[in-house]
Structure formats: structure tokens, C-alpha cells
Amino acid sequence: MNILIDLFAILVLLMVIYLLGRPIVRGAIYFPTSHVQVDLMIRMASLKRGDVMADLGSGDGRMIIACARQGIRAEGYEINPLLVFLSRRDIRRAGLQDLATVRWKSLWRADLAPYDAVFVYGIPYIMDGLRRKLERELRPGAKVISNAFPFPDWAPLATENKIYLYSIGPKSETVAAA
Ligand SMILES: C[S@@+](CC[C@H](N)C(=O)[O-])C[C@H]1O[C@@H](n2cnc3c(N)ncnc32)[C@H](O)[C@@H]1O
């Protein structure tokens, strides 16, 4: 019996290491954006109904739920299965299944081509790699909104309360949109 308890404890420990460790290695740890910042990010992105946005590392889904409430098609990528479960539950509770989706998938494996805007709350050591992925995959004119951390080598179109707004320019040149 004791050996079963030990094995269970080891299993739980491994799961905790996996859930906490993977985001640290492949992205950022979970730290939710405040609702004030969520509203600011959406306002700065100035999206309209029918636009499609992605939140890379969507946490508890608050960003995609807030976008979907405004008629924006919102897709989250999240590697923590617990957060995927909670955000899917909240999407259902809000009746937003037609507009909001969460994928249990690494942001590094997401195809970003369809998105009009990409929201990011990362960590400094992923920003350069992420910048290259965004430049490669997003179409010119697509917007990138970053919470807390600016992208190296990109000039923001606007900055407010540590939110940085960018627009993808032609030929990988990222410029301020009009
Ligand atoms: C700082 S939190 C931001 C959560 C949410 N976007 C918000 O603004 O409230 C970063 C999130 O990214 C997730 N994450 C980290 N690495 C990831 C990866 N490679 N792919 C997808 N999600 C990742 C974490 O689990 C965490 O939920």
C-alpha cells in the first residue's frame, strides 16, 4: 500500500514539474493580464466585428472571451491543460462557443497566417524568436499587441501603460500603421 502512495506522490510531483516547467522553457509562466489591461489591449488593437485574433498563451481565456464578447473571432493557444479546461468551461458558460476557441497546443506550432491580430504576454527571452515567427507568418497589416514586453528591433506604433502595439509591414519590415 505504501508503495502505491509513493508512486502516486511521484506521479503528482512529475505532473506539477511538467505543468510548471514546460511554460518556463517554451514560453512564459501563467500570470493573468488584469481586466483593465485586457480592455486597453483590445482598444489599442482597434479590431472590428468579424476580425480574427489569436492569444498566444491564452491562460484562463480572459482575453479571447473579452474579444469574443465584442464580436471578434478569438482563438487561444495554451499548453497548460488545466487552463485549457478552465477557459473552455468559461467560454461555454458565456455562450461564446461560436466565436471563441482554445487549442491545447504550443504557440510555436500555431499557424499565424489567418490572424488579423496577435496578442502576446510573453517573457523577454522568447521575444526575439517570436518576432521572427510573427514576421514570417503574419500578413502585412496584421497587428501585434504585446503586454509588458516590447519586441526587439520593432518600433511600436503606440505604447500605453506597458502595452505595445505593432503592425506588420511589407517584406518583414514592421512599421507603424496609419
Ligand atoms: C503570462 S501568461 C498570459 C495569459 C493570458 N494571455 C493573459 O493575458 O491573461 C502566459 C501563458 O502562456 C502559456 N504558455 C507558456 N508557454 C506556452 C507555449 N509554448 N504555448 C502555448 N502557451 C504557452 C502559459 O501556460 C500561460 O498561461
pLDDT at 177 over 60: no
- Taking CA atoms, 147 is separated from 93, 129, 138, in Å, by 26, 16, 19
Q: pLDDT tens-digit profile of 104-161? A: 999 999 999 999 999 999 989 899 999 999 999 999 999 999 999 999 999 999 999 9
Are 79 and 27 in contact by the 8 Å Cβ rule? The answer is yes
pLDDT at 10 over 50: yes
Residue 1 CA, ligand 1 centroid: distance in Å: 38
Choose which residue among 41, 64, 78, 88 to substitute to test ligand 1 binding: the one with the highest number of ligand atoms within 8 A of its C-beta. 78
- List the domain boundaries for the chain: 31-172
pLDDT grade for 1, boundaries at 50, 70 and 90: confident
Check whether domain 31-172 has CATH 3.40.50.620, yes or no: no
pLDDT grade for 22, boundaries at 50, 70 and 90: low
Q: Return d(Cα 112, Cα 43) in angstroms, integer.
A: 21
Residue 168 CA, ligand 1 centroid: distance in Å: 22
Considering only 11-25, 27-41, 44-58, 95-109, which range has the smallest mean pLDDT? 11-25
Q: Which residues are CB-neighbours of 126 under 8 A, at least 6 positions away?
A: 27, 28
Q: pLDDT tens-digit profile of 51-105? A: 999 999 999 999 999 999 999 999 999 999 999 999 999 999 999 999 999 999 9
5-13: long-range contacts, CB 8 A cutoff, minimum separation 24: none
pLDDT at 12: 73
Residue 75 CA, ligand 1 centroid: distance in Å: 13
Please give the residue that has the higher pLDDT: either 73 or 5: 73
- Taking CA atoms, 37 is separated from 9, 32, 109, 121, 148, in Å, by 38, 10, 26, 11, 10
Considering only 22-31, 43-52, 142-151, which range has the smallest mean pLDDT? 22-31
Residue type, 117: A
pLDDT at 26 over 80: no
Which parts of the chain are beta strand (E)? Answer: 52-56, 73-78, 100-104, 117-120, 143-147, 158-160, 163-167
Q: Return d(Cα 150, Cα 33) in angstroms, integer.
A: 16
Are 140 and 170 in contact by the 8 Å Cβ rule? The answer is yes
pLDDT at 87: 98
